[in-house]
Amino acid sequence: MQRGDPFRYLRFHGIFDEEMMVCDEDEAGRPRFHFRFVDQLFGFADQLL
């Protein structure tokens, strides 16, 4: 894809929105972080570049 129309930057919006499920709380109310969907997004973007 990049060969025909080269680009230097890729911009994201909403990477840490609630829909990406990055942060939630455990039973004690402490934050837990999960980067599974963020990692998948970067993996997909890496394939484009």
Residue-wise pLDDT tens digits, 1-49: 445 667 777 888 998 898 899 999 999 999 999 999 999 998 988 887 6
Would you say residue 9 lies in a domain?
no
Would you say residue 29 lies in a domain?
yes
Q: What is the pTM of this model?
A: 0.65
Would you say residue 25 lies in a domain?
yes
Q: Phi and psi at residue 47, in whole multiples of 5°?
A: -65, -30
Would you say residue 10 lies in a domain?
no
Would you say residue 39 lies in a domain?
yes
Would you say residue 12 lies in a domain?
no
Would you say residue 35 lies in a domain?
yes
Q: Per the structure, how many domains does the chain have?
A: 1
Which DSSP string corresponds to 31-43? EEE--HHHHHHHH
Which structural domain, as residue segments, surrounds residue 36? 18-48
